[in-house]
Amino acid sequence: MTAKASQSAMRTVEAKGFKIPTVGLGTWALRGRDCVRLTEQAIRIGYRHIDTAQMYDNEREVGEGVRASGLRAEVMVTTKVQPTMLAPHDLERSVKESLARLRLDAIDLLLIHWPNPRVPLAETLGAMAKMKREGHTRQIGVSNFTVALLDEVNKISSEPLICDQIECHPFLNQDKVISACRRHGMAVVAYSPIARGGAPGNKVLEKIGKAHGKTASQVCLRWLIQQGIVVIPRTSRVERLKENFDIFDFELSNAEMREIRGLAHGSGRIVDWTWSPRWD
């Protein structure tokens, strides 16, 4: 596929008939007026996907930025239910509170942020499906779910699960969970896609970037989207919004893809799972 042909093919990733814009803005740690401004600016640049969560304490600002852009209808907004809110009554209340903070017509994609083994999954999924049926969210999915959990939820959910949002970048091998997503027809959404700033400065990514006139971060993001993975890089700098979005006009060769794959190592995980009740 030429870079031009692949460009249009990769602007969205389709899962179960739902199209997810391939590059989204991550908003963890963005706060206040900066968060409003960056969200609005990102949409002006071309982003059509914004990622927030109840835990990030910025749903109000994200909603304000989306409305200020004037392009609400074109933008997919994801939020996530925190793991302490997975009992049905808590989930329903917290989703309605999220919507009130976002001040949007509906959430586009609602995710279970982390699994919580203290709440039966069937109960949580029942409440998620109800939120969809009642129009509070258009689609539902999960985040930080393991292969075993993906197998389980896809058996019991009455509504299609669109994605698993997971930590994913060249320094971490996520092949098993990516294969499970493919098997279940779910999209993979990569969080921490530039390894929280670990991509810039990496020798391999810098070298490949130089050959294409791109930065290491752009190569890192391109490596993911070229595998059909959605990316949600975060930045607090307007100039980097453009850099992180400008990844559709070049293509990595098979040899470059393989070389980047070789960067994975055993201690590549960034986000600490140990804070959460483990279920794997």
Q: Are strands 107-112 and 76-81 parallel, antiparallel or unpaired?
A: parallel
Q: Judged by CB under 6 A, which stretch of 96-104, 133-141, 172-180, 195-203 contacts ligand NAP?
A: 195-203
Are 125 and 110 in contact, with CB atoms under 8 Å apart? no
Catalytic residues: 56
Residue 217 as a binder of ligand NAP (CB under 6 A): the answer is yes
Site for ligand NAP contains 27 (CB under 6 A): yes
Residue 22 sits in the site that holds ligand NAP (CB under 6 A): no
User: Site for ligand NAP (CB under 6 A): which residue of 3, 100, 156, 271?
Assistant: 271
Q: Which stretch binds ligand NAP (CB under 6 A): 64-72, 97-105, 173-181, 239-247?
A: 239-247
Q: Output DSSP code: residue 57.
A: T
Using an 8 Å Cβ cutoff, are 190 and 166 in contact? yes
Span near ligand NAP by CB under 6 A; candidates 20-28, 67-75, 98-106, 180-188: 20-28
Nearer to ligand NAP, 121 or 189 (CB): 189
Question: Which residues, at least 6 apart from 255, have a Cβ–Cβ distance to it below 8 Å?
Answer: none
Q: Copy the structure tokens of residue 198.
A: 């670990």
Measure CA of the first residue to CA of the last residue in the chain; give whole Å. 38
The conformation of residue 76, written as its DSSP 8-state character, comes to E
Interface size with ligand NAP, residues (CB under 6 A): 27
Angle formed at CA 64 by CA 60 and CA 67, multiple of 5 degrees? 140
Q: Pick from 141, 160, 193, 209 the residue near ligand NAP by CB under 6 A.
A: 193
Integer Cα distance of 110 and 118 in angstroms: 20
Site membership for ligand NAP, residue 39 (CB under 6 A) = no
Member of 12, 39, 124, 144 binding ligand NAP (CB under 6 A):
144
- Of 121 and 166, nearer to ligand NAP (C-beta) is 166
The only residue of 35, 194, 208, 260 in contact with ligand NAP, by rule CB under 6 A? 194
Binding string, residues 63-92; x marks residues near ligand NAP by CB under 6 A: ------------------------------
Task: Among 240, 246, 249, 273, indicate the residue that binds ligand NAP (CB under 6 A).
Answer: 240
Determine phi and psi for 85, rounding to 5 degrees. -115, 30
Q: Are 186 and 133 in contact (CB under 8 A)?
A: no
Q: Are strands 18-21 and 230-231 parallel, antiparallel or unpaired?
A: unpaired
SS3 state of residue 102: helix
Candidate segments 67-75, 152-160, 230-238, 255-263, binder of ligand NAP by CB under 6 A: 230-238
Find, among 255, 246, 258, the residue nearest to 222 by Cα.
Answer: 246
Residues that bind ligand NAP (CB under 6 A): 26-28, 51, 113, 143-144, 165, 191-197, 200, 217, 232-237, 240, 243-244, 271
